[in-house]
């Protein structure tokens, strides 16, 4: 690994809470550019939401979850436990404020503005991940074989036409494919998928957990400090920036970056800062011992499910469920993902299944909260990346490093 870590005395001390993909990448980037960085997590790095994602590096994903017409989908969300979007009745009262903002974000003019922002944020994501993977000594983790989105028929594809048109307007290369093309790209995909769109410029990470671990290892080798501890409180420090209280004691830093994923609101709540973040619970079933039936990410677009070939085995991941941080996973959703895999790839023999649920830290408008907290000098947010945290982590890291280390004015407050 070629790293230039300058330890000049003028370098700021920075604490980063959360060693998911966002916090790990941010800590690595800051340390690489000369800051004294302490990365704190209560668990092993990468064990949060970043553990089990679908591995897609998808700068083409500029379409927010809240699209015009989202209100019409609410009855289905409430009633269909197997639907791609699920809102259990009992969670409705808790979710109403967030959902109201979610619906407001689905207005046509808002969607255009959000798409433009996401396109700009993630424009360089693949190049930046490729460079990062090389720097940390794991170039094999990033693969650039494109993504294939498949539909059962032209009618199903037509329903997504506004989303595809939006992507094309922002220059995403989208190639319409029919059954013969699908067969040549992914021969094992069942005949029920007859049409689709191939995105040749998208990429993937074949082991999202190892990626985070390797980034943290490079961070430590380069002089960063990793602390495994629970952050219980944060507060402004009269002598120096911010204090971070952990079960082991107190640490201070000139700058404090909160990258605690869906748990970030719990850290700033006591300061009177309210973050519009809700967990969009996503599920995966991983088949670690089975040969992947695909050679690239295949999106079963009718179910919004990703099938990902991994370093070992393959993964079926997706679905969105509201329900907060405390409810246990719904086992029916694991069964659903397993069934979808068997339907999509007839005849696949699968062995052991590993089940996992993670909390996507999600904002109503699908835009991450990255930047300073207004009127709290030295406090920064790096959260709210929702469905795109793996994709967006490197851009977030660059933006924060530019702002903190070089005073780049481009970064507006993440929250008032």
Ligand X SMILES: Cc1cc2nc3c(=O)[nH]c(=O)nc-3n(C[C@H](O)[C@H](O)[C@H](O)COP(=O)(O)OP(=O)(O)OC[C@H]3O[C@@H](n4cnc5c(N)ncnc54)[C@H](O)[C@@H]3O)c2cc1C
DSSP 328: P
Does residue 53 touch ligand X according to CB under 6 A? yes
Does residue 54 touch ligand X according to CB under 6 A? yes
Q: Which residue has the tokens 């209280």?
A: 245
Q: Which residue has the tokens 């939401």?
A: 49
Taking CB under 6 A as the criterion, the residue among 314, 322, 389, 400 binding ligand X is 389
CA atoms of 300 and 64, how far apart (whole Å):
18
Taking CB under 6 A as the criterion, the residue among 34, 48, 84, 241 binding ligand X is 48
Q: Which two tokens stand for residue 55?
A: 């591995």
CA atoms of 85 and 103, how far apart (whole Å):
14
Taking CB under 6 A as the criterion, the residue among 38, 213, 251, 263 binding ligand X is 263
CA atoms of 105 and 179, how far apart (whole Å):
36
Q: Which is nearer to ligand X, 55 or 241 (CB)?
A: 55
Does residue 260 touch ligand X according to CB under 6 A? yes
* DSSP count for the chain of H helices, then E strands: 12, 21
Q: Which is nearer to ligand X, 241 or 361 (CB)?
A: 361
CA atoms of 137 and 214, how far apart (whole Å):
8
Burial 158-189 (b: 16+ CB within 10 A, else e): eebeebbebbeebebebeebeeeebeebbebb
- How many residues of this chain interact with ligand X, rule: CB under 6 A? 43
CA atoms of 391 and 360, how far apart (whole Å):
13
Question: CB 274: neighbour CB atoms within 10 A?
Answer: 12
Does residue 129 touch ligand X according to CB under 6 A? no
Residues in the chain: 416
Binders of ligand X among 300-319, rule CB under 6 A? 306, 317-318
CB of 142 to ligand X, least distance (A): 13
Per-residue x/- track, 209-248, ligand X (CB under 6 A): ---------------------xx-----------------
- Decide if 14 contacts 30 (C-beta within 8 A): yes
Per-residue x/- track, 272-301, ligand X (CB under 6 A): ----------xxx-----------------
Taking CB under 6 A as the criterion, the residue among 12, 47, 103, 276 binding ligand X is 47
Taking CB under 6 A as the criterion, the residue among 59, 293, 361, 372 binding ligand X is 361
Stretches 91-99, 131-139, 183-191, 386-394: which one binds ligand X (CB under 6 A)?
386-394
Does residue 20 touch ligand X according to CB under 6 A? yes
- The CA distances from residue 227 to 42, 214, 248, in Å, are 8, 16, 10
Does residue 383 touch ligand X according to CB under 6 A? yes
Does residue 64 touch ligand X according to CB under 6 A? no
Does residue 259 touch ligand X according to CB under 6 A? yes
Provide the binding-site residues for ligand X, judged by CB under 6 A: 17-23, 40-43, 47-50, 53-56, 58, 230-231, 259-261, 263, 282-284, 306, 317-318, 358, 360-361, 383, 385-391
């Amino acid at each position: 690994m070629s790293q230039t870590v300058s330890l000049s005395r003028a370098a700021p001390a920075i604490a980063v809470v959360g060693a998911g993909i966002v916090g790990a990448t941010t800590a690595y980037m800051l340390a690489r550019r000369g800051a004294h960085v302490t990365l704190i997590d209560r668990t092993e790095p990468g064990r949060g939401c970043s553990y089990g994602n679908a591995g897609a590096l998808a700068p083409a994903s500029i379409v927010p979850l809240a699209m015009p017409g989202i209100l019409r989908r609410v009855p289905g969300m409430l009633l269909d436990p197997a639907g791609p979007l699920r809102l259990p009745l009992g969670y409705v009262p808790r979710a109403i404020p967030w959902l109201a903002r979610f619906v407001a974000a689905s207005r046509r003019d808002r969607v255009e503005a959000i798409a433009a922002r996401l396109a700009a944020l993630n424009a360089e994501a693949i190049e930046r991940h490729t460079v990062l993977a090389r720097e940390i000594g794991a170039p094999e983790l990033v693969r650039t074989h494109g993504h294939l989105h498949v539909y059962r028929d032209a009618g199903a594809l037509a329903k997504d036409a506004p989303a595809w048109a939006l992507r094309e307007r922002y220059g995403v290369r989208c190639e319409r494919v029919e059954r013969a093309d699908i067969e040549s790209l992914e021969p094992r995909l069942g005949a029920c998928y007859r049409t689709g769109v191939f995105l040749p410029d998208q990429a993937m990470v074949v082991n999202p957990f190892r990626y985070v671990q390797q980034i943290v290892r490079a961070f430590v080798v380069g002089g960063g400090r990793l602390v495994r501890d629970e952050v219980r409180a944060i507060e402004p420090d009269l002598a120096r920036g911010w204090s971070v209280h952990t079960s082991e004691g107190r640490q201070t830093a000139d700058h404090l970056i909160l990258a605690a994923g869906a748990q970030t609101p719990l850290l700033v709540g006591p300061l009177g800062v309210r973050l519009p973040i809700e967990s969009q619970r996503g599920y995966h079933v991983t088949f670690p011992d089975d040969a992947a039936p695909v050679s690239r990410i295949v999106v079963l677009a009718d179910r919004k499910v990703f099938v990902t070939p991994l370093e070992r085995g393959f993964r079926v991941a997706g679905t969105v469920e509201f329900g907060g941080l405390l409810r246990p996973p719904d086992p029916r959703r694991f069964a659903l993902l397993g069934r979808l895999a068997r339907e999509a790839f007839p005849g696949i023999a699968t062995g052991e299944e590993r089940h996992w649920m993670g909390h996507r830290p999600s904002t109503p408008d699908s835009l991450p909260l990255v930047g300073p907290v207004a009127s709290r000098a030295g406090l920064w947010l790096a959260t709210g990346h929702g469905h795109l945290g793996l994709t967006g982590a490197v851009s977030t890291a660059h933006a924060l490093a530019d702002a903190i280390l070089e005073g780049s004015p481009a970064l507006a407050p993440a929250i008032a």
